């Protein structure tokens, strides 16, 4: 009798929350060898599979039938050529507005190339290019399918939120007499918070866990040729092992200038994954405050200008000994020939808010940690999660500080992304103007000082 009364009370509490949730997953591991993304040093396609790669979806519906779907992927990043098509098809097939679909990638460097991401990093032969094209088309279909499957799985649920901390991320912008290089900077800014969104079924069973961290998925370096999700893949597997029947989803935060330390071995990838998973499980074991509706979402595209350049800039670069710069110059000169020189890039900013509580802010590109720290300062650190690698990964997004300091994130990386060069100096303020507008649209206002 007591057991029945407990279940009845639990059911009433869940119903009062007004949420339904659906969960789905689909295998996105390439079949056979494929060129891997993230390291220009690789000279051959993948050689086997260390971990299966997944796209996972969490759908949420409030009492007013407002919906949102979060899709996470074990990939380097999704370009707009993929995410825009997915969003359009999800709208047509399932009626989900663009603002309510959040697409995030873990940024693993042991996953496949997704075209046209990092367009000048690889000089592929016809066969490898064909394989990547076929994989990208199949991936697009699977992302639509997994979003639809999660929406088709909606059942009463209770959502709650908490946060822990993991300490293996380290700022990688090392200052030397010759400038900033990729290395180790123990005194540099970091964000070690590990947010956790818990989804319980009507009977109290854990159905899903969405967790996040701000760190590159680069424990496994360029000499690794087996497909995997790196530390984030191991973390998801460990959470699911510790909580049978639950689906674990990983979201990448503003780790554009953060690397896991130590790194370079499979053992460290496993260790970082286990450490993050253990912290997620610790948070789950605590009493987490529930979330309430309604759901509100907003999506906006702004434009970020690049620093001034001319045709002569790339005529000179065409003679460079660096093959990646030559390929970038060829692409830029082609754009000049077609009278459409690349002066700016579209930039997506999105927010999903749960009632007056948790806000998910999703930014495109490889965003450096300064952005997350500034958002938490301006809007308060409580129940706000600042994701990067969302909806489009077109290049790095440096803060003004990083832009002025130079180095890989500000300058050199633009070559591999096929962008014309560094951003104009107003990049941070343009992004923050967009952030303020998007957060205002979902009712999250700056804190009063």
What average pLDDT does range 91-97 have in this prediction?
Answer: 98
| CA nearest neighbour of 297 among 112, 106, 61, 123 | 61
The predicted pLDDT at position 190 comes to: 98
Q: How far, in Å, are 191, 380, 382, 403, 441 from residue 445 at the CA level?
A: 22, 9, 13, 28, 9
**Residue 123: which pLDDT band, with cuts at 50, 70 and 90?**
confident
Phi, psi values for residue 347, rounded to 5°: -140, 120
Please state the pTM of the whole predicted model.
0.95
Tell me the pLDDT tens digit for each residue of 291-331. 999 999 999 999 999 999 999 999 999 999 999 999 999 99
Tell me the pLDDT tens digit for each residue of 34-51. 999 999 999 999 999 999
| CA nearest neighbour of 54 among 164, 169, 143, 155 | 143
Angle formed by the axes of helices 80-94 and 126-151, to 10°? 30
> Are 198 and 168 spatial neighbours (Cβ–Cβ below 8 Å)?
no
DSSP summary character for residue 432: H
What average pLDDT does range 401-425 have in this prediction?
Answer: 98
Tell me the pLDDT tens digit for each residue of 221-272. 999 999 999 999 999 999 999 999 999 999 999 999 999 999 999 999 999 9
Q: Where are the domains of the chain?
A: 2-292+366-384, 307-342
Tell me the pLDDT tens digit for each residue of 11-29. 444 444 599 999 999 999 9
The predicted pLDDT at position 17 comes to: 57
Quote the tokens at residue 7: 């279940």
> Are 248 and 209 spatial neighbours (Cβ–Cβ below 8 Å)?
yes
Burial of 184 (0-12, 13-18, 19+ CB in 10 A): middle
- What does pLDDT average to over the chain? 95
Q: Which helix (H) or strand (E) holds 175?
A: strand 173-176
């Amino acid at each position: 009798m007591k057991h029945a009364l407990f279940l009845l009370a639990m059911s009433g509490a869940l119903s009062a929350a007004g949420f339904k949730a659906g969960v789905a997953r689909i295998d996105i591991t390439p079949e056979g060898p494929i060129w891997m993304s993230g390291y220009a040093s690789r000279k051959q396609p993948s050689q086997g599979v260390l971990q299966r790669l997944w796209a996972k979806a969490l759908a949420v519906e409030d009492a007013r039938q407002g919906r949102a779907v979060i899709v996470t992927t074990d990939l380097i990043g999704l370009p707009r050529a993929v995410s825009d098509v997915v969003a359009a098809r999800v709208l047509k097939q399932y009626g989900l507005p663009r603002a309510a679909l959040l697409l995030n990638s873990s940024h693993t460097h042991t996953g496949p190339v997704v075209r046209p991401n990092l367009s000048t990093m690889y000089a592929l032969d016809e066969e490898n290019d064909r394989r990547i094209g076929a994989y990208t088309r199949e991936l697009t279909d699977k992302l639509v399918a997994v979003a639809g499957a999660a929406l088709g799985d909606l059942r009463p649920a209770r959502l709650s939120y908490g946060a822990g901390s993991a300490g293996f991320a380290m700022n990688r912008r090392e200052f030397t007499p010759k400038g900033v290089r990729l290395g180790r900077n123990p005194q540099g800014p970091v964000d070690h918070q590990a947010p956790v969104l818990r989804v319980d079924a009507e009977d109290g069973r854990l159905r899903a866990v969405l967790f996040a961290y701000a760190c590159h998925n680069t424990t496994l370096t360029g000499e690794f040729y087996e497909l995997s999700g790196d530390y984030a893949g191991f973390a998801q597997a460990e959470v699911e092992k510790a909580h049978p029947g639950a689906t674990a989803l990983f979201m990448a935060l503003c780790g554009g200038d953060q690397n896991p330390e130590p790194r370079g071995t499979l053992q460290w990838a496993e260790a970082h994954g286990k450490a993050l998973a253990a912290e997620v499980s610790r948070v789950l074991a605590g009493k987490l405050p529930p979330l309430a509706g309604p759901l509100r979402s907003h999506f906006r595209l702004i434009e970020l200008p690049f620093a001034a350049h001319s045709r002569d800039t790339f005529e000179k670069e065409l003679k460079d000994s660096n093959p990646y710069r030559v390929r970038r110059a060829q692409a830029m000169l082609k754009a000049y020939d077609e009278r459409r020189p690349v002066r700016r890039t579209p930039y997506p900013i999105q927010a999903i808010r749960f009632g007056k509580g948790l806000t998910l802010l999703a930014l495109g590109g490889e965003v450096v940690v300064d952005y997350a720290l500034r958002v938490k300062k301006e809007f308060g650190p409580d129940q706000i999660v600042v994701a990067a690698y969302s909806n489009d990964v077109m290049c790095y997004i440096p803060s003004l500080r990083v832009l002025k300091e130079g180095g890989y994130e500000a300058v050199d990386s633009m070559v591999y992304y096929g962008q014309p060069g560094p951003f104009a100096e107003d990049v941070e303020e343009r992004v923050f103007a967009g952030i303020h507008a998007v957060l205002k649209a979902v009712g999250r206002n700056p804190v009063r000082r």
